[in-house]
């Protein structure tokens, strides 16, 4: 964790959706000391962004069988300042804010074929 990190942001993106990149999960206002997120639990301090499906939730992976495998990208950003965004911020709003405040980022890509 870079020194001076004020907040973490996590995005989960389907890189192979027919509609283009789909945001399946966006979580921000994550305290920098956070080391894990429990399944099905959103701590009070954390805010959810709006997914590409128009909801404030985690959207499970479910690539259409006829598509073959889809790649899912998880990106964690360390920000130099707290975001001034309300819960429900769009992925575009988050990406714009991240571009200004990112100190560091890390990513993991997973392939899913159902």
Q: What is the CATH number of the domain that holds 108?
A: 3.90.280.10
What count of other Cβ atoms lies within 10 Å of the Cβ of residue 81?
13
Quick check: is 97 in a domain?
Answer: yes
pLDDT at 101: 95
CB contact at 8 A, 2 and 78: yes
Quick check: is 27 in a domain?
Answer: yes
Quick check: is 1 in a domain?
Answer: no
pLDDT at 105: 96
What b/e string do you get for 3-28 counting C-beta neighbours within 10 Å, with b at 16 or more?
eebebbbbbbbbebbeeeebbbbbbb
Quick check: is 44 in a domain?
Answer: yes
Residue range(s) defining the domain that contains residue 91: 7-112
Averaged pLDDT for residues 19-44: 88
Total domains in the chain come to 1
Whole-number mean pLDDT of the chain? 91
* pTM of the predicted model over 0.85: yes
């Amino acid at each position: 964790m870079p020194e001076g990190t004020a907040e973490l942001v996590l995005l989960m993106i389907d890189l192979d959706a027919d509609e283009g990149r789909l945001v399946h999960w966006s979580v921000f206002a994550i305290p920098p000391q956070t080391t894990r997120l429990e399944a099905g639990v959103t701590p009070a301090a954390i805010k959810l962004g709006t997914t590409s499906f128009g909801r404030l939730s985690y959207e499970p992976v479910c690539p259409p069988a006829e598509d073959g495998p889809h790649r899912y990208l998880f990106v964690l950003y360390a920000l130099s300042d707290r975001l001034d965004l309300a819960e429900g911020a769009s992925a575009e709003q988050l990406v714009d804010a991240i571009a200004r405040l990112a100190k560091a980022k890390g990513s993991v890509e997973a392939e899913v074929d159902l």
